Amino acid sequence: MSRPAFTDVPQPDELARAEARQRHATLIKPVESLGRLEELGAWIAACQGVCPPRPFTRPRVVIFAGDHGIAAKGVSAYPVETTAQRLDALLKGDGVPNALAGVAGAGVRVVDLAVDADTSVQEFKVRRGSGSIDVADALSGAEVEAALRVGVELANNEIDSGADLLVAGDLGVGVSTPSAVLVAALTGTEPVGVVGRGSGIDDNAWMRKAAAIRDALRRARAVLADPVALLRTSAGADLAAMTGFLAQAAVRRTPVLLDGLPSAAAALVAEELVPNARAWWVASHRCAEPAHELALQHLDLKPVLDLGIRLGEGAGALAALPILAMAARLLTDVATYPDAGVTPPDGVA
């Protein structure tokens, strides 16, 4: 099986972006008085290629679930079996993203890529768990290519079914460790600069995690020139599929609201695979993981929210989604000075 061949990424429509900025200057409010909301509305218009933009009608969160061999080294506050248990809770509608999605008006889909258990959503399963990345590759060559193809297929499925905004969420014990390795490798950061508290680990677990990232980073740097080899060596089927998902969303001209550290790490690799894909992404929030901030800086993305969220599972993106909806509605629902019969300020026609 060969790796997916991504086509070039089209750029968002700069004419529509300019039209959105010009429209904001004619709305019944002081010029540029809505700050980042105006910038986000212009981005949505550029992605859709029309101004005013259309309200989002089918935002979709796809949660990529998988276990990681490195979790056996004590880098998480939770035992490995927690992944399957939390996945089951999501399918029953009892998880955090279920509650947030109900408010944000988004659909949630959970996909098992590498959970170390049998689940009811393993149609796209690549393997159970992954190699312990401090001493072994996460995946085989065939497995990483299969995971990338799953991500592409999931993006195509959602977009062909009418999704007009996508979110990639994560679910897996230990996922912040390979995510931190990917970020450190692609940003040239030393291990201590990317080690966070993840699931709420104590000092001893933090030291174990730092050692695991140090050892995994040595292996990652040997394949840094090849993004697919980097995923094979240091990621896992969930992160590799997420990478394909984010890259294909950009190819398909579909905006993406990035979530926390795992999606940012996958985005870094996707940008290496498909340059300029980041033009189709917005960072939903700044999470509490130091590697997340490094990834966003490298991608030149400014987060919408800063609420200290570190859960993953699409939680930060779902919290930010209503703000994007507001940004679009401002351009469709607010009257212009001529339409409202309001005297404009000097310099506004």
Q: List, by residue number, the catalytic residues.
A: 313
In terms of Cα–Cα distance, which of 144, 299, 328, 318 is closest to 230?
144
Tokens in use for 5? 């061949």
In terms of Cα–Cα distance, which of 18, 304, 303, 64 is closest to 167?
64
- N- to C-terminal Cα separation, the chain: 60
Burial 141-176 (b: 16+ CB within 10 A, else e): eebbbbbbbbbbbbbeebbeeebbbbbbbbbbbbbb
Half-sphere exposure of 223 (CA within 13 A, CB side): 18
| 210 residue type, one letter | A
Going by DSSP bridges, is the β-strand pair 59-66/165-171 parallel, antiparallel, or unpaired? parallel
Radius of gyration of the chain (CA): 20
* Residues 74 and 94 sit within 8 Å (Cβ to Cβ): no
